[in-house]
A and B are shown apart, each in its own frame.
Chain A
């Protein structure tokens, strides 16, 4: 049995899951910040 598909598959699964989480987290942050800006709730520095 060739092991390559299992190794590639495992790294692909990890990459898709973790990169997907990074993308979803960044998109969520951008959406919430846009909502904050639209309502004029930005913090004064």
Chain B
């Protein structure tokens, strides 16, 4: 926690991100290369899904990251509203589009998996609908944070949406238990451990690490840009007042 408070200063965060980005970018490329090799070459076909299981190596990590990314937005929203950390709003602005893209990847790859497996691209079942709602919450966050002339007002409005919308994340997770859905129940994060064969589990976890690293790289990169953009806006404001 002390380290998080230390990094809440934008200048310190920038020094950290500029050192971490090259290392993390290299780790992302390496993990993606290994993950894709395991997912597309080494992994055997599933006994039920056949070759279609290969879509799961992108779809499932994208879903995890989209949900975790929204919880990050909620935590940043709380940090902004309660402690007024200057970095929280800038990081939320950087993280929201990244989460939205991961959410879109989850929805689109799931849809492509669904057509041959379920016979349809889309069905309004609880898991799919709540995931679509998460995508709209991301879009709402992006739109709200940019909707005001005063960026501070936009950041606070988006923070409230992030906190209210966080209720959707446990609904996504437990939707397959609470309602009768076409989507299969949890096979990874469940009591009794994963119900997945190690030959499938290994590429899934490596791809999850690779995509998580990519998410972190993109959030650091975009937060860094948001810090510079805020400096530019402040400089423009000062120039406007002076003129």
Contact = CB atoms under 8 A, between A and B. Distances in A.
Interface of A: 1, 3-4, 6-7, 9-11, 13-14, 17-18, 21-22, 25-26, 28-29, 32-33, 35-36, 39, 41
Nearest to B236: A39
Interface of A is mostly: helix
Contacts of A29: 221-222, 224-225, 228
B232 A18 contact: no
Interface stretch (B49-57, B128-136, B161-169, B183-191): B49-57
A36 B51 contact: no
Interface stretch (B75-83, B112-120, B140-148): B112-120
Contact of A41 (B62, B221, B235): B235
Interface residues on B, range: 20 to 34
A21 B112 contact: no
B104 interface: yes
Contact of A3 (B58, B97, B116, B214): B116
Contacts of A17: 101, 104-105, 108
7 contacts: A17-B105, A21-B97, A26-B221, A29-B225, A32-B232, A39-B235, A41-B235
B221 A25 contact: yes
A6 B55 contact: yes
Contacts of A1: 116
B27 interface: no
